[in-house]
Structure 1
């Protein structure tokens, strides 16, 4: 053995293995190695709360954990939520050879992989090697956890210059640090130096990524197309090739790469998110609705379920409801509310509460519950500092609908200045989505006064039905604008009483109560009320 049993005696280990006999056998090996504090669970669902509560020194996880997340996806979630201790070693086990991520050390990568079956001596060797590497890189990982790239580079320089077993790993991390801080030319130079010495897959891929970030799209595409021939790197090559095409606006080509990536890795969450984004960017909202519905149905009772599926579906259905004819409005609004309500409680946390609240408030506005929406909006003022594009637009549309144009404009300004945290597939999608949402909202801002003006022109020309259609369309997005509501009431007063129009009339009168009204507005309302059918005033 490399370390004495006394070394392991003080260490805490989490063992994740779904097969009871195998779990018992591995636990026996760990006890033979020297571990005493061993926690065993069968899957990632059981492991997650333990990982949050206990500071483990080692996590040993079987790759296949049954239905739900595999061990690599579980590790990724732990890393993204910063739940792993800086010094914790994460080791994967599997009865079959597994491919670990080629690029992405900076975001966190498992410390090792061990092929089953193995002896306790092989296991101890793997654990000791992981601990040694993790210990030598501890200060680097601490700096990266704080996103202090300069401090990380100073530590990495020392490790690289030492020329030992850790130097290559340090060199790999250094290149990714340069990418993360935006030093793309320096990263490219470093990757080129590495590939001149040895053709590592991670260096080839890193070179293509650096070229992409430098907008050398043709060079990046050529490099990535060649990497598609290598099985060990093909998924990452497909992912970054999709980024190349997305950055160029070649959405059909990007979608093709994403489809191929999902064929290889059907539960690739980021690829699903990107595929839905492609549908929106290609002007296919109906197809995007079906895509999110399919994901919800497919993953609802698994570890791959995500709150974003429900939020995205709710947003799209709200948009459809706002643009729908009067006869279809109630049904679509009900579907939007049901989509949000269908989100499992297990997905509710501090990260999802804001999105849930603002979407509920948007639904309340369209249901005519203006008072409830205003109350909820008052509790959401912190959202002016939100960073997610979709959440920013949700809050902008909510405040705009409630008549707070200043708050809405502040959100749009943040959306305009949005810069994604990462430059990978997720970051690329976020940036394109932000640009698309901003453009969509600015076009809507231009369309609302046009609908209003055209509606009044139709009303003055005696075409009350057409006037109401146009004014109602504007009202769906800006219900708490007194002048607009009064225009719509004028069109309603020119039409015979109708039970089908009763909900619209009631919504307009309710919205008017919560709208800021000038003296002229008050006078006009007093003139309009007697002209409205009694049905609407009961």
Structure 2
């Protein structure tokens, strides 16, 4: 991965050290790749640009390189749709595509939805060189960053360089795509043992796969060993992630504070540093860190959202309002678009009332514009309609209109009664707080009780439930025992004792059959045991039945990606082994 040519002057001035960009692995030289001649006749291409003439020009260049299978897309959404139906080898995407998704949003969606195969090449093409664009591109790490105008020779030089690495890593990438994790780890070890020029890339794949599989001790050992040898950003981030997961935010904070001083544009470190600070109860410094990060890369939707949430927790409504406005604006065409930022922006606007009549009128108008957009975009979603009515009730109450507030609250309670699913913990807590504030404790209890059935091991939910309802909630003995068994199983898994881990998870799931964390842990264990013993095909069927218990998990749940990955892997293994 690399950047061709000099960085824009105003961006270069922000660099403290060459490592600011080297840490991303995005700076390479344009030296010839040797005597190897690469052919593109067997590669599928996708060219994305809103100007037809430019698409045709790039297509001609690709044909001159030998390419035959070439598709085109004029918009970001068209490109994503094509990638849903076909896994391309090489994607050349313009950054600025007019209305709709831009090139960065295409890349982030393809990565998030796993629509790029490991061996794919994604090249960002642009004539723009703003700081926001460059930093956004760097964060999502396209394989190359190519500046318009360019010719066939420049394109070939860049693609040849990328093909060199992709072909060297082909066996590992194929194993990754097939979900053969044990083979991936073996091939990575072979690459390292051979002292290959791509040994570091193999070590990164190995460490991240170990982390994904829950083998945190092994992953941390690898990350930390690499950190001692050189300041690798991804290794530092990996070590910090595991420290946070293992409940050691203080060590993570110390590691990340040092890293961010060395590498000021290491934005992943700033995200993790904020997480560590939040675990330590230092929400104000977490907010400060995130504010600095969004100054450098304002297009990061998830970071803007996190800043809004932290500022809201700190009751810093001006900062929260700005952050949620950016989240809504930048997220309109993003795969990370969600309803929650609209509702939190509405809440912040309500809390901003109390100024002059002119300011309050402007704020109220903006409030209604936000909810109108929300209700239009999520038309037919009963949960969104319910939460929108709660937001309106909150506004009416703030404006001393009790009858309107009561009417909106009653409508929200009616919609709540018709919901066919429990709300995620954070949403349930927010909704329950609003019902209590509007004088409807029964609806608040209904929301929290339904949520507790699925998330009984969530300590924050237990605590908030007690506080919101104003009384102690009797502990569910079966659920507490399930949590104990789950924790014991996790310890056995970490030690590599999968049989005892599975024994504990099976007991736990009998007591809490819909507990998301327990289900995911059990599914992971079943898959690991099966891969070591492929003859035991019943394990795959048990894994599918297990995952079926939590099929209604919310896409906004932080465990949703793990659920999807386990489900995909199980289905793939069943197909391969005829289970």
Same fold per superposition (TM over 0.5): yes
2:309 is the alignment partner of 1:277: yes
DSSP 3-state at the match of 1:90: strand
Cα contact 2:278–2:286 (8 A) shared by 1: yes
1:237 and 1:197 mapped to 2: Cα distance? 18
Q: 1:122 is matched with which residue? A: 157
Please give the alpha-carbon distance, in whole angstroms, between the structure 1 residues aligned to 2:270 and 2:443: 45
What CA RMSD, in Å, does the superposition of the two structures yield over aligned residues? 4.5
SS state of the match for residue 228, structure 1? Answer: helix
How many matched pairs? 404
Residue 158 of structure 1 aligns with which residue? 187
After superposition, the C-alpha distances for 1:357-405 in whole angstroms (9 at most, x for unaligned) are: 4425646995537886566445422x22x54622575389779766584
Deviation (angstroms), 1:159: 2.8
After superposition, give the CA deviation of every residue in 1:398-427 in whole Å (9 maximum; x if it has no partner): 797665845631314645634xxxxxxxxx
Distance 1:228 1:335, change over 3 A: closer
Residues in 2 aligned to 1:300 and 1:213: alpha-carbon distance in whole angstroms: 28
Confirm or deny: 8 A CA contact 2:223 2:239 kept in the other structure: yes
Residues 1:273 and 1:180: Cα distance change in structure 2 (over 3 Å): same
Shift of 1:80: 1.8
Aligned pair 1:294/2:325, yes or no?
A: yes
Q: Is the 8 A contact 1:374 1:402 kept in 2?
A: no
Instruction: Report matched runs for 1:527-538 at 5 Å.
Output: none
Whole-angstrom CA distance in 1 between matches of 2:419 and 2:364: 22
372, 381, 389: which one aligns with 2:426: 389
- Superposed counterparts of 1:84-163, under 5 Å: 84=116, 88-94=120-126, 110-114=142-146, 117=150, 119=153, 120-126=155-161, 128-129=163-164, 131-132=166-167, 135-142=170-177, 151-162=180-191, 163=194
Matches within 5 A, 1:143-222: 151-162=180-191, 163=194, 164=196, 166-222=198-254
In structure 2, relative to structure 1, the CA distance for the partners of 1:79 and 1:394 (3 Å cut) is: farther
Check the 8 A contact 1:160/1:168 in 2, yes or no. Answer: no
Deviation of 1:279 (Å): 2.0
1:380 paired to 2:391:
no
Equivalent residue in structure 1 for 2:64, among 32, 37, 43? 32
CA distance in 1, matches of 2:37, 2:292: 44
TM-score (norm 1): 0.61
Of 5, 9, 16, which residue of structure 1 is paired with 2:48? 16
- Counterpart-to-counterpart distance in 2, 1:416 and 1:28: 59
Partner Cα distance (1:69, 1:157) in 2 = 39
- TM-score for both structures, normalised by structure 2: 0.57
CA deviation profile, 1:197-248 (whole Å, cap 9, x unmatched): 5443332343344444444444433332332244585222222222221111
Distance across 1 between alignment mates of 2:305 and 2:84: 26
Aligned equivalent of 2:407: 368
SS of the residue corresponding to residue 374 of structure 2 reads coil
Instruction: Return 388-397 or 44-53, whichever deviates more.
Output: 388-397
CA distance in 1, matches of 2:428, 2:146: 42
Contact 2:425 2:451 in 1 (8 A): no
Distance 2:351 2:452 in 1: 18
Aligned counterpart, 1:445 = 469
- Is the aligned partner of 1:262 residue 2:294? yes
Q: Closer, same or farther in 2 for the Cα pair 1:127/1:443, shift >3 Å?
A: same
The separation in 1 between residues aligned to 2:41 and 2:178, in whole angstroms, is: 30
Instruction: Report the Cα offset of residue 263 of structure 1.
Output: 1.0
CA deviation after TM superposition for structure 1 residue 250, in Å: 0.9
Structure 2 counterparts to residues 453-468 of structure 1, below 5 A: none
